[in-house]
Structure 1
């Protein structure tokens, strides 16, 4: 098993509420969290809910994502001490992009700036 495999098996339905809690602690909303995740992945709100309901892991969540936003490569910065733009593994990079967008939301960044 590769070191990242454990992360890839994490259920999106477990991560999503943590993102929402993080955002809500900073007076942001679930709608805003979903909006940035949909922007990144191309999911509709219904598609996002479907992934939550069917308990997809992160690997499946990104494999079934309609289309990664073409501007996602513009997402730069540090998550968990690692520069997202330097992450080699494509799936891990996508997961960190999602983490970074939620971080920016929680830090009070405007949606227009987050969704580059």
Structure 2
């Protein structure tokens, strides 16, 4: 059970770092989107739509990659918490079967 708690602590730190990177990527994309929307007249006048679409798509691709990583790490954390009691129970019963009655303290 202690191993699961330690691994959950490590995964939680990993979640925090993934979340920070995801927030940075989201902020960069939103900032770029705001910049485009504020200068939409210039973008339309000079026909920069394809370039702006490509730059936004690249930022979104980075954000989605980080989002997938974040979701994977969150799922690992959930799986650890689901498997911890099951693994602990199986381990206790395996030890009890291995040592039988002579291993019991009375």
TM-score by length of 1: 0.26
TM-score by length of 2: 0.28
